[in-house]
A = this chain, B = another copy of it.
Amino acid sequence: MGCAMRIGELARRTGVSERSLRYYEKQGLLTAERTAGGHREFPGSAVDRVIRIQELFAAGLCSAKIGQLLPCMRDTDGGPSEIATPRLVADLTTERGRIDRMIADLVRSRDVLDDVIAAASVDEGNR
């Protein structure tokens, strides 16, 4: 694995700003060792984790929910994944429903765009 890296490299590898990475750490979504001088040292597994975090943000979850969720994910870093509490499962189920509805919405909107684009390209041909 990529071994330890500092914030600049993690930012470069993930395409996420240093600002956001520091924010993630402060929210408890990322863990980083510190050098003697106080610089962050991220483990190689942080790359995947950051990408997950971004996806979950994009899915509309707030950082608090993500913070609860992350330790329960069994992902590439073979950490001992915890078991979600019933309370969390209920929350996640709600979120799941919201995401489903969001996907349906997006598909509809995409279809609308396709219609407009298609109509324009037909017109392009007729003109």
A→B interface (CB under 8 Å): 52, 55-56, 58-59, 61, 69, 72-74, 81, 83-86, 88-89, 92-93, 95-96, 99-100, 102-103, 105-110, 112-117, 119-121, 123
Q: How far is the CB of A108 from chain B (nearest CB, A)?
A: 6
| Bound complex: CA A89 to CA B116 (Å) | 8
Smallest beta-carbon distance A88→chain B, Å: 8
Contact A107 B103 (CB under 8 A): yes
Do A112 and B73 touch across chains, with their CB atoms under 8 A apart? yes
Copies of the chain in the assembly:
2
Question: Contacting A96 at CB < 8 Å: which of B52, B58, B117?
Answer: B117
Q: How far is the CB of A125 from chain B (nearest CB, A)?
A: 12
Given contacts A102-B58, A123-B83, contact A92 B108 (CB under 8 A): no
Question: Is B58 a contact of A109 with CB atoms below 8 Å?
Answer: yes
CB<8 Å pairs between A and B, sample of 5: A69-B116, A73-B115, A84-B116, A88-B120, A103-B103
Interface centre among A61, A85, A88, A106 (most CB of B within 10 A): A106
Please indicate the chain B residues that have their CB under 8 angstroms from the CB of A72 in the complex: 116, 119-120
- Shortest Cβ distance from A116 into B: residue: B72
Q: A55-B105, A105-B55, A105-B59 are in contact. Are A110 and B119 (CB under 8 A)?
A: no
